[in-house]
Every structure is written in C-alpha cells, then in structure tokens.
Amino acid sequence: HDLELVYADEEVVILSGLDLTQRKRVSVHALAPALARDEKLAAQFVREGQEFAALSHRGLLKIHRVVAAPTPHIVAEPLPGLPLSAALAAGQPMPLHEVLAAGAHLTEALDYLHQRGMIHGDLRPSRVAGGFHHELRLCPPVFPQIALETLAARGLTTVERRGYRPPELTAGAAADYRGDLHAVGLLLHHMLTGALPPPHTDDDDSDIALRYRAGVPEALSTLVQRCLQADPGRRYQDSG
C-alpha cells in the first residue's frame, strides 16, 4: 500500500510502501518485467531471495518474505538510503569518511557470508544501499552467476555488471569469495575517484596504478590495490 518508487534499473524496481499486515514501512524489490516474463529467471530470482532471507546480519538487508507470483518480488526492511549507484552517477569522488565507513561495513558483511561458506557474487553499486549516516546494507544478489549474453539477449545493456565482473570469470574460472574482494576494491576505487579503474590486461599482475585525490591514507590505497589484483591468489585471502 502507498507505494513510491525509490530506484529502478533494467533488472530490478525498488519501491517503498506500507505493509498492511505488519503495519510498518518496507521496501519492495521486484524483478523487472523483461526478466520476470522468463519462467526460469523468475524462479531463480525467488530461489536466491529465499536463500538470502535465511541470513541474519546487520550488514545484510533483512528480508521479510519472497513472493513468486504474479510478479516475483522481495519484501524487506526499508532501505537505509538510496542504492550506491545513485551517489556515483555524477562521476564525482565521495567524501573520504564515507568511503572509510563503507569499506568497514562491506568487509564486515562479506566476512559473515564467507565464514558460512557463501559468497555474494553480485557486489556492485546497485546492490548496496545506504550512506555514511546509516550503515550500508548489501541487497540480495540478482543472478550472480548468469552469463552476460543471457541478459544481453533480453535487451539489457549489462554495463554495470561488466564493469564489476572479476577478471577470472571472464577467463572461465568458477566464482569464489575472492571475487567479492575484487568487487570491494572496485567499489572503493569508484567512491574514491568517481570512476572505475581501467580494465585488466591479459597478463596484468602488477600493482594497479591508482590516482587518488590528496589525503587518501596509504593503508587504504594499499587495500584497494591488493583487492584489485587480476590474479585471485594475490588478493587478500579472507575478508576479515
């Protein structure tokens, strides 16, 4: 009831509304029509939402229920702020204190997942919500292992997915927790500079050349560079 649009992209539409059964505000995450018409994708969206709903951590968006029909959607706690993609859309660096807070929130939530043998697999700006004044929340992943060609065949541009895809997946390797850490590096770089770093070359095992604004702590720069290594074995081996 009383639904208002919060955010929409080519994959998910996020609404804010009042849950009359529980008499509280909620966020509603609905699969975009172009994808909801595909029965297999709709079923996968519901299944992934149910798996995420079984988790409980302050850094993960709390899921109340997952609904399969008529439109697959997830009913969750209200978002603590807009998706991070909205803040990054202007292409400007974010304040350093916000980047530091985001890094702490992201790694804490990922450590919770990784300690349970799980990965997020879809860490990108549209899947992270909140800001400095509210702790970030990781939203449920949307088709984390899907082939980009599958989405492109349905008219999706997949620009954000391509930018945040770890290089080992492009090479055909299986996803693991180190892909999440690569995404953390991309997110922090994006927040610090207003842009993603250049793509890896085929044999790029050297340190990433980062151009930050003045005042970025050396420890943060080192963390980002380590996360962005093309070789997963040269990244941090845990998120703790």
**What does the DSSP assignment read for 13-60?**
EEEEEEETTTTEEEEEEEE-HHHHTSHHHHHHHHHHHHHHHT---TTB
The average pLDDT across 212-231 equals: 85
What pTM did the predictor assign? 0.90
Predicted local distance difference test score (pLDDT) of residue 207: 47
Question: In this structure, how many other beta carbons lie within 10 angstroms of the beta carbon of residue 188?
Answer: 24
Between 175 and 58, where is the model more confident? 58
Residue type, 189: H
150 falls in which pLDDT band (50, 70, 90)? confident
65 falls in which pLDDT band (50, 70, 90)? very high
Q: What is the overall mean pLDDT for the chain?
A: 88
212 falls in which pLDDT band (50, 70, 90)? low
- Is residue 218's pLDDT more than 90? no
The average pLDDT across 157-173 equals: 84
CA 214/CA 110 separation, integer angstroms: 29
